[in-house]
C-alpha cells in the first residue's frame, strides 16, 4: 500500500507548524539561563529597548502550578529564584516581528549567582554538588535472578569490562514548534508533537484549566525519534502563556541552534559488566551496573533507566543475573526520550562485552553467541519465560550467511598482508527489544480507540497516535481496511485532536502498530457488532449497511470502541521487578563490515546486513525504511555523533560541527525479515520502530576491533579516539618487545 501522506510530503504541500497561517499572530522567543546552577539575582532589560512593544512573561504569569507535569513535577515552566542548567527558560517574549523578538531576547540579561554544579555523572558528587537526596540519584532499579556471587565463585573464568556511550542529538528534520491561541474560551495548542495527551495533561496543571477548556492538536510532524515526546509540553506551555497574556495567537519555532542547545538528548551511560562462564563457554553469571546521566530534571529518566536495565543482559540464557541501575541528577540540560529508550546504551555494552568474553575464553564470537542464545522455555533476567516460537539462533545464522562472513574473513586477512594502510573486519550484534510500555504500563494507560461509521459508508479511525514519518496513517488504514474488507480509500484517519479523539496513548515505545493497531481491529469488530452484523459481512455489504443506518438516524453517530486489555497470562510485579516485562519482543542479528584507514584513523562501514523477526511485516516498504533509518542513526552514534560539553552546555550545537551521517557515509543496508506471527498483534505484527537502533553501534565497533586488533569501549569511536587506542596498543607492544 502506498504511503498515505507521501505525495503531500514529496510535493511540499504538507503544512508544518511553521507554515500554518495565524491571523495577527506574534512570534515568541525564550530568554534562558547563562549558568548551569545558581540563584537568579536579577533579570535586566536593556533600557534602550521599548519594552512596551513586547509581551513579556515570567513565572508570575503562570496561572496554575509552575511545573511541567510528567513523572515528577520537579521542572518549572519558567525558573523562579534559581536555575539548574544552562539554557533553562526564565523569561518569554513575543512581538509581531520575528527579527525584532530575536534581537530583544539578546537584550535581556539573566544575572545568576553561581553555585557549584555537578557535571560529571561518572564521579561521586562532592557535598556542595548534592541537590537531591544524599547522592543526586533520581532512580535506582535492581533486577535479581538466581545467586550471582555463588555462580561467580564456581566460574571457570570471570571477565570484567566498562563501556561508555555518549549523548546523541535527535536531529529531526523539523525543529520544535508550537502555535497557541484562544477561541471562545478554549485554548488551542497546535504543533509538532508525539503525545497530544501528555501536552494536554501538562496544560491543565500549569494553566489551571478544566479538560474541556484545552485542546491539543497535532500538526504534521517532521520527525520525532522521542525528542517530541516530553519536550512539546514545555514549548507548548510557553506559547500558551504568551498567547493568553497577549490575547493573540503566538507561534514559537526554534532555530536549529536553540533546538540543539535546549532540548533533550539520549542519556549518556556507563555500564560495567562482570561475567562468569564455565569451561564450555556458557554464561553462568552476569553482574551488571548501569549508570545514566539524567540531567537537571527527572523528565523520563526513570523509565529510560528501566528499559535499559531490563535489556542489559541481552538475548541470552543465564541462570544468575544481577543488574543494578542508577539515573543520576546533574546540572546538564535534561536528557529524555530517544529512540531505543535506554536499550541502545545497555545493548552496546553487552554486545561489545560478549566479543571480549568470547576472545578471553578462546571462542569464536558467533559460536559463543549461538551457544548462549535464549530459547523457548528459557527465562530472561526478570524471569519472563520466552515462548514465541522465534528461532533466534537461526536469525544469527542467517545474518552471518547473508554477510558472507567466512569468505570475507579470508579476504580481509589477505588484504592486511598486502596493504600497509587499509584494514577490514566484520562485527556482529544480537539483541532484542520489548514492544509497548514496560511492565504494567499499558494497563495503567488504559488506551482507548474509536472507529466511526460515516454517513457516506466510509469509516474513520479516531486515535491520538500520530504520524511523524514512520507510517502510522498508512498502517492504521491497512489494518482497518483488512479487518472490514474495505478499499483503503474508504478508510480515513482523524486528526489527532484531544477534542475529537480518545486517549490511545503516546506514540512511543514501539507500541503504535502492535498495541494500538490491535485496538483498531477490535474497534472495527465492535462497529460491525453495533450494526448487528456478523464477522463475515465485509466490503460493499458493510458500506451499504452504514449508509442505511445513517439514513434511518440522521445526525446520529455510530462508533465502535475498543479499550486495551493485556494479553492472557501476562504478569508483572513492579516492586520486585520480576515477571513479564513486555508482552512481546522483537529479535535481531546484525552484521557490519568496516574499513579502517591507518593513515587517517577514519573508519567507515562498507556493508551492513540486518536480520530481524518482528512478527508479521505489515508494510514491507515502511518496515524496510524503519530498519534502514535506525541503522543509519546507529552508525552515526557509533562513529561520529559526539556531543561536546563545556560548563554544562553543548559546545557544538550546530550542524557544521555536530556530524551526522550522509548518504555518502552509509553502505548498502541489506534488510531481511523472518516472520513468526504473534497472535496478540494486528495481523500477527509486533513492534518495530525502536529495535533497529539497538544493534548497529556494537556491530560496527566489534568490526573495528577485529579489523585493527584494539579493544574500543566507548562511543562515538571518532578518528581521534581510534588513533589513541591504536597508538596505545603500538606502544604497549613496543614495551613488551
Q: What is the CA radius of gyration of the chain?
A: 26
CB 4 within 8 A of CB 477: yes
At 172, the pLDDT band (50, 70, 90 cuts) reads: very high
Cα dihedral 395, 348, 513, 448 sign = positive
Q: Which of 119, 135, 115 is nearest to 127 (CA)?
A: 135
Sign of CA dihedral 618, 622, 626, 632: positive
149 burial via Cβ count (<10 Å: 0-12, 13-18, 19+): exposed
What is the grid cell recorded at 263? 532540548
DSSP secondary structure letters along 18-78: GG---TTPEEEEEEE-SSSSEEEEEEEE-TTS-GGGSEEE-GGG-SS-SS--SSSS-S-SS
332, 645 Cβ separation under 8 angstroms: yes
User: What pLDDT, on a 0 to 100 scale, did the predictor assign at position 129?
Assistant: 98
Domain covering 441-563 in this structure, CATH number: 3.30.365.10
Residue 401 pLDDT grade (very low, low, confident, very high; cuts 50, 70, 90): very high
Region 55-64: what's the mean pLDDT?
98
C-alpha cell at 149: 556471587
Per-residue pLDDT of 73-119, as tens digits, reads 999 999 999 999 999 999 999 999 999 999 999 999 999 999 999 99
For 671, list phi and psi in degrees, rounded to 5: -110, 130
- What number is the average pLDDT over the span 145-167? 98
How far is the C-alpha of 423 from the C-alpha of 357, rounded, in Å?
23
Q: What pLDDT does residue 734 have?
A: 86
Report the relative pairing of strands 321-329 and 283-295 from DSSP bridges.
parallel
Residue 453 pLDDT > 80:
yes
Alpha-carbon distance 128 to 118, whole Å? 9
What pLDDT is recorded for position 732? 87
First to last CA, the chain: 64
By DSSP bridging, strand 558-563 and strand 649-650 are unpaired
Predicted local distance difference test score (pLDDT) of residue 721: 98
- Side-chain-facing half-sphere of 648: CA atoms under 13 Å: 27
**Whether 374 contacts 386, CB under 8 Å:** yes
Question: Helices marked H in 454-581 — which ranges?
Answer: 472-484, 517-530, 539-552
Say how far apart CA 211 and CA 204 lie, in whole Å: 7
Can you tell me the distance from the alpha carbon of 199 to that of 196, in angstroms, rounded to the nearest whole number? 5
What residues pair up with 158 in beta bridges, in sequence order?
276
pLDDT at position 711 is 98
- Beta bridge partners of residue 31, listed in sequence order: 91
Please tell me whether residue 159 adopts helix, strand or coil conformation.
Answer: strand
CATH superfamily entry for domain 6-114+180-254 = Aldehyde oxidase/xanthine dehydrogenase, a/b hammerhead (3.90.1170.50)
Give the span between the Cα atoms of 674 and 614, in whole angstroms: 8
Judged on CB neighbours under 10 Å (0-12, 13-18, 19+), 664 is: exposed
User: For residue 39, what pLDDT is reported?
Assistant: 98
Please report the pLDDT score of residue 211 as a whole number.
Answer: 97
> How much is the pLDDT for 733?
83
Eight-state DSSP code of residue 487 = -
Give residue 267's pLDDT: 98
Cell (9 digits) for 522: 477490535
CA angle centred on 438, ends 432 and 441, rounded to 5°: 155
**CB distance 202 to 68 below 8 Å:** yes
| Integer CA distances (angstroms), 350 to 355, 442, 625, 633, 637, in order | 9, 27, 26, 19, 16
Residue 302 confidence (pLDDT): 98
Distance from chain centroid for Cα 356: 28
- When pLDDT is cut at 50, 70 and 90, the band that residue 180 belongs to is very high
What the block records as the C-alpha cell of 269 is: 551511560
* Nearest-10 crossing angle of helices 365-372, 392-403: 160
Given the C-alpha cell 550546530, which residue does it identify? 654
> What is the pLDDT, as a whole number, of residue 538?
94
Helix and strand numbers, DSSP H then E, in the chain: 19, 28
Q: In 131-274, which residue ranges form alpha helices assigned H by DSSP?
A: 148-153, 196-207, 231-246, 256-262
Q: What is the pLDDT of residue 736?
A: 83
Percent of the chain with pLDDT over 70: 100
Q: Which of 183, 148, 135, 178 is nearest to 30 (CA)?
A: 178
C-alpha separations of 361 from 159, 347, 354, 373, 431 in Å = 9, 21, 11, 17, 21
Which pLDDT does position 438 carry in this prediction? 96
- Enter the pTM of the model: 0.97
Chain region(s) in the chain for CATH 3.90.1170.50 = 6-114+180-254
**Which pLDDT band holds residue 689 (cuts at 50, 70, 90)?**
very high
The yes or no reply on domain 269-437+578-736 and CATH 3.30.365.10 is: yes
Exposure b/e, 703-735, CB count within 10 A at least 16 = b: bbbbbbebebbbbbbbeebbeebbeeeeeeeee
| C-alpha span between 640 and 697 (Å, rounded) | 11
Mean pLDDT computed over every residue of the chain: 97
Handedness of CA 334, 129, 137, 90 (dihedral sign): negative
Q: With a cut of 80, say whether residue 737 has pLDDT above it.
A: no
Residues of the chain within CATH 3.30.365.10 domain(s) are 269-437+578-736, 441-563
pLDDT tier, 37 (very low <50, low <70, confident <90, very high otherwise): very high
Residue-wise pLDDT for 267-321, tens only, equals 999 999 999 999 999 999 999 999 999 999 999 999 999 999 999 999 999 999 9
Residue 220, pLDDT score: 98
Amino acid at each position: 500500500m502506498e504511503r498515505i501522506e507521501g505525495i503531500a510530503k514529496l510535493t511540499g504541500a504538507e503544512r508544518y507548524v511553521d507554515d500554518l497561517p495565524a491571523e495577527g499572530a506574534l512570534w515568541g522567543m525564550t530568554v534562558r539561563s547563562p549558568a548551569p546552577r545558581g540563584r537568579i539575582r536579577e533579570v535586566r532589560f536593556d533600557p534602550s529597548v521599548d519594552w512596551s512593544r513586547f509581551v513579556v512573561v515570567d513565572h508570575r504569569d503562570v496561572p496554575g502550578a509552575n511545573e511541567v507535569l510528567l513523572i515528577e513535577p520537579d521542572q518549572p515552566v519558567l525558573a523562579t529564584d534559581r536555575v539548574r542548567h544552562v539554557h533553562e527558560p526564565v523569561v518569554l517574549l513575543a512581538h509581531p516581528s520575528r527579527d525584532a523578538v530575536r534581537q530583544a531576547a539578546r537584550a535581556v540579561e539573566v544575572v545568576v549567582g553561581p553555585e557549584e554544579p555537578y557535571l560529571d555523572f561518572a564521579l561521586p558528587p562532592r557535598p556542595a554538588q548534592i541537590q537531591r537526596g544524599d547522592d543526586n540519584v533520581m532512580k535506582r532499579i535492581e533486577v535479581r535472578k538466581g545467586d550471582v556471587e555463588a555462580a561467580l565463585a564456581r566460574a571457570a573464568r570471570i571477565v570484567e569490562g566498562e563501556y561508555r556511550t555518549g549523548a546523541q542529538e535527535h536531529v529531526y528534520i523539523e525543529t520544535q514548534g508550537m502555535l497557541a491561541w484562544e477561541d471562545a474560551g478554549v485554548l488551542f495548542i497546535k504543533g509538532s508533537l508525539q503525545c497530544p495527551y501528555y501536552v494536554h495533561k501538562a496544560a491543565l496543571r500549569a494553566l489551571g484549566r478544566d479538560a474541556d477548556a484545552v485542546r491539543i492538536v497535532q500538526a504534521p510532524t517532521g520527525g520525532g525519534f522521542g525528542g517530541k515526546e516530553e519536550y512539546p509540553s514545555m514549548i507548548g506551555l510557553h506559547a500558551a502563556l504568551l498567547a493568553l497574556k497577549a490575547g493573540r495567537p503566538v507561534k514559537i519555532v526554534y532555530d536549529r541552534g536553540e533546538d540543539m542547545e535546549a532540548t533533550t538528548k539520549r542519556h549518556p551511560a556507563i555500564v560495567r559488566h562482570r561475567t562468569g562462564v564455565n569451561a564450555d563457554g556458557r554464561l553462568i553469571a552476569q553482574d551488571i551496573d548501569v549508570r545514566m546521566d539524567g540531567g537537571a530534571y527527572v523528565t523520563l529518566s526513570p523509565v529510560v533507566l528501566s528499559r535499559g536495565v531490563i535489556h542489559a543482559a541481552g538475548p541470552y540464557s543465564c541462570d544468575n543475573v544481577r543488574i543494578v541501575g542508577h539515573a543520576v541528577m546533574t546540572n546538564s540540560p535534561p536528557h529524555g526520550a530517544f529512540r531505543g529508550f535506554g536499550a541502545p546504551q545497555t545493548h552496546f555494552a553487552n554486545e561489545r562485552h560478549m566479543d571480549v568474553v568470547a576472545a578471553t575464553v578462546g571462542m569464536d564470537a558467533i559460536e559463543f553467541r549461538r551457544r548462549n542464545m535464549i530459547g523457548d522455555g528459557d527465562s530472561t533476567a526478570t524471569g519472563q519465560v520466552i515462548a514465541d516460537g522465534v528461532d533466534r539462533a537461526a536469525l544469527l545464522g542467517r545474518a552471518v550467511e547473508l554477510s558472507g562472513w567466512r569468505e570475507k574473513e579470508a579476504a580481509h586477512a589477505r588484504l592486511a598482508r598486502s596493504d600497509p594502510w587499509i584494514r577490514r573486519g566484520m562485527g556482529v550484534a544480537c539483541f532484542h527489544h520489548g514492544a509497548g510500555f514496560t511492565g504494567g504500563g499499558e494497563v495503567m494507560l488504559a488506551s482507548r480507540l474509536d472507529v466511526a461509521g460515516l454517513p457516506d459508508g466510509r469509516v474513520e479511525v479516531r486515535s491520538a497516535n500520530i504520524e511523524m514519518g514512520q507510517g502510522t496513517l498508512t498502517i492504521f488504514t491497512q489494518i482497518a481496511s483488512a479487518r472490514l474488507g474495505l478499499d483503503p480509500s474508504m478508510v480515513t484517519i482523524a486528526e489527532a485532536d484531544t477534542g475529537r479523539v480518545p486517549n490511545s496513548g503516546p506514540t512511543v515505545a514501539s507500541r503504535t502498530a502492535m498495541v494500538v493497531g490491535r485496538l483498531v481491529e477490535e474497534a472495527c469488530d465492535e462497529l460491525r457488532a453495533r450494526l448487528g452484523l456478523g464477522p463475515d459481512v465485509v466490503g460493499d455489504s458493510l458500506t451499504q449497511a452504514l449508509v442505511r443506518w445513517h439514513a434511518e438516524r440522521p445526525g446520529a453517530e455510530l462508533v465502535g470502541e475498543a479499550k486495551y486489555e493485556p494479553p492472557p497470562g501476562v504478569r508483572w510485579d513492579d516492586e520486585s521487578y520480576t515477571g513479564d516485562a513486555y508482552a512481546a519482543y522483537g529479535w535481531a542479528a546484525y552484521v557490519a563490515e568496516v574499513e579502517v584507514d591507518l593513515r587517517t584513523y577514519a573508519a567507515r562501514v562498507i556493508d551492513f546486513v540486518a536480520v530481524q523477526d518482528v512478527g508479521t511485516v505489515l508494510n514491507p516498504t515502511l518496515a524496510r525504511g524503519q530498519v534502514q533509518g535506525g541503522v543509519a542513526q546507529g552508525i552515526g552514534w557509533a562513529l561520529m555523533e559526539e556531543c561536546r560539553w563545556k560548563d554544562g552546555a553543548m559546545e557544538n550545537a550546530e550542524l557544521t560541527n555536530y556530524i551526522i551521517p550522509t548518504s555518502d557515509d552509509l553502505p548498502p543496508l541489506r534488510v531481511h525479515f523472518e516472520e513468526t506471527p504473534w497472535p496478540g498483534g494486528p495481523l500477527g505484527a509486533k513492534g518495530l520502530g525502536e529495535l533497529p537502533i539497538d544493534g548497529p553501534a556494537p556491530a560496527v565497533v566489534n568490526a573495528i576491533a577485529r579489523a585493527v586488533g584494539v579493544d574500543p569501549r566507548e562511543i562515538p569511536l571518532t578518528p581521534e579516539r581510534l588513533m589513541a587506542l591504536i597508538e596505545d596498543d603500538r606502544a604497549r607492544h613496543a614495551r613488551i618487545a
